[in-house]
Amino acid sequence: MDCVVTGGNVKVLAKAIHSLSRIGDELYLEPQEDGLALRSVNSSRSAYACFLFSPLFFSRYTIPLGHAFRCKMAIKCVQAVFRSLSSLEKTVEKCHIELDGEKSRLTFTLHCKHGLLKTHNLSFQDSESLQAVFDKESCANMLRAQPRLLVDTVLHFPPSLEEVSVSVSGERVWFRNHVDDEAEQSKAMLTELCLSSDEFDHFAVGAQTSITFCLKELRGLLVFAESTGLPVSMYFDESGSPVVLSVTDSVLEVNFVLATLSDDSNLCNHNNNTKRARSPPPPDDFMTDDIDSYLIAMETSELAGPSDALAPRSPSPNHTLTTPPSVAMRRLERGEEEEEEDTEDTERPPNKKFRSLFFGSVCPSDSQLTNQTIKSQEVLASDSEDDTQASLP
């Protein structure tokens, strides 16, 4: 992979990364044919963001041929590359992103004035695909506004406010702070801002609806949108369905998908299911006993060659279940907790298959596992963690 971003676009890229840092701790990077996708998700899976930079955004855009490459890195590391936005603007002429396959490093080289080169080598972990399931076009309600309007709106709420409720009806929209703690309700100050449809570029409302979602993540998008001056579109249905916030132009498409409270739940965080992901939330620690035995069982089931053709993942308006039915698992020495993508290399031993637990994937039912006879365990590479896992029954 080899991409070059020049001029003002470097700052846009930097802002995108800062924006993503407000969502989650890891940056998922995936060069696709239709552009470079940068994604992040929060730990409770209630917020997801994707920045897709089309090839036109870059002055050079070369992606690895054939197999797909996906990786993830600690977002703080990437932020460190683009640390000071104001000095970026003044000194950086271009940014070169290259993949060093051998050393598993992504190299960010900033070409600055006076011939100065700043090179950052960031190591990454291979990762599975990360995509939220959502369909903007089918949403009943859509509002589009200049970012300034939304920025002015959230200004009325304190920075500490967690959740905001948005209600629409006819010609009006109301933004209210959401107080979900019973004890606080009698003492909390309630703020409500009413905007008329006149203030929006586009205002299409079906039935009267009210949704509640996390304000913090919205602010992350607004900071980005305001700097680009692009209008923000908000797509939503009834409460419980995720709200999609988009910013689009000819070279960039940004989507923030935020879970909304459904009527009978208390907090966004408790309700991962609002994201329409069919899988249960993935456990954070993959070294628990259950996962280990599951991993081992899977290891011994569908042994096969390199990963099958992957389902199309282009960000068309209809995002469907995106994780491919089988995600090959790399040797366990690489990022021990991760089920990783096979970055095709025919010289490697045959890869195991494993179903990702992330968004929209389907886990095999238990009965499937128990029916498998345990074949001989193939240890692909020795490693202390490998040994302990391989030794489990």
Nearer to other proteins, 109 or 146 (CB): 146
Question: C-beta of 392: minimal distance to other proteins in Å?
Answer: 56
The residue from 137, 198, 284, 290 that contacts other proteins (CB under 8 A) is 198
The residue from 74, 193, 223, 296 that contacts other proteins (CB under 8 A) is 193
- Is 169 near other proteins (CB under 8 A)? no
- Is 189 near other proteins (CB under 8 A)? yes
Question: C-beta of 193: minimal distance to other proteins in Å?
Answer: 5
**Sign of dihedral through CA atoms 141, 318, 26, 14?**
negative
- Is 194 near other proteins (CB under 8 A)? yes
Question: C-beta of 181: minimal distance to other proteins in Å?
Answer: 14
Question: C-beta of 249: minimal distance to other proteins in Å?
Answer: 23
The residue from 34, 162, 180, 199 that contacts other proteins (CB under 8 A) is 199
Nearer to other proteins, 73 or 168 (CB): 168
- Is 187 near other proteins (CB under 8 A)? yes
Q: Give how far Cα 320 sits from Cα of 133, 274, 278, 312, Å.
A: 6, 16, 12, 9
Measured distance CA(118)–CA(121) in Å, rounded: 10
Nearer to other proteins, 199 or 344 (CB): 199
Measured distance CA(71)–CA(93) in Å, rounded: 26
Q: Give how far Cα 313 sits from Cα of 57, 64, 79, 132, Å.
A: 20, 16, 26, 11
Cβ atoms < 10 Å from Cβ of 150: 24
Q: Which amino acid is at 142?
A: M
Nearer to other proteins, 153 or 326 (CB): 153
The residue from 84, 87, 123, 196 that contacts other proteins (CB under 8 A) is 196
Nearer to other proteins, 152 or 385 (CB): 152
Nearer to other proteins, 87 or 191 (CB): 191
**Sign of dihedral through CA atoms 303, 387, 125, 316?**
positive
- Is 185 near other proteins (CB under 8 A)? yes
Question: C-beta of 189: minimal distance to other proteins in Å?
Answer: 4
Measured distance CA(162)–CA(276) in Å, rounded: 22
- Listing DSSP states for 87-118 in one string gives HHHHHEEEEEEEEETTTTEEEEEEEEGGG-EE
Could you say which residues in the range 143-162 bind other proteins, by CB under 8 A? 155-156, 158
| Per-residue burial over 250-275, b = 16 or more CB atoms within 10 Å of its CB, e = otherwise | eebbbbbbbbbbbeebebbbebbbbb
Residue 21: phi, psi to the nearest 5?
A: -65, -20
- Is 202 near other proteins (CB under 8 A)? no
Contact 326, 307 (CB under 8 A): yes
Contact 109, 117 (CB under 8 A): yes
Q: How far is CA 265 from the centre of its chain?
A: 24
- Is 77 near other proteins (CB under 8 A)? no
Over the window 112 to 131, marking each residue x when it contacts other proteins by CB under 8 A and - when it does not, the resulting string is --------------------
Nearer to other proteins, 86 or 186 (CB): 186
The residue from 183, 190, 317, 371 that contacts other proteins (CB under 8 A) is 190
The residue from 80, 188, 207, 311 that contacts other proteins (CB under 8 A) is 188
- Listing DSSP states for 201-255 in one string gives SEEE--S-EEEEEEHHHHHHHHHHHHHHT--EEEEE-STTSPEEEEEEETTEEEE
Nearer to other proteins, 201 or 385 (CB): 201
Could you say which residues in the range 286-345 bind other proteins, by CB under 8 A? none
Nearer to other proteins, 192 or 302 (CB): 192
Helix (H, G, I), strand (E, B) or coil at 149: helix
Chain positions contacting other proteins, by CB under 8 A: 155-156, 158, 185-196, 198-199
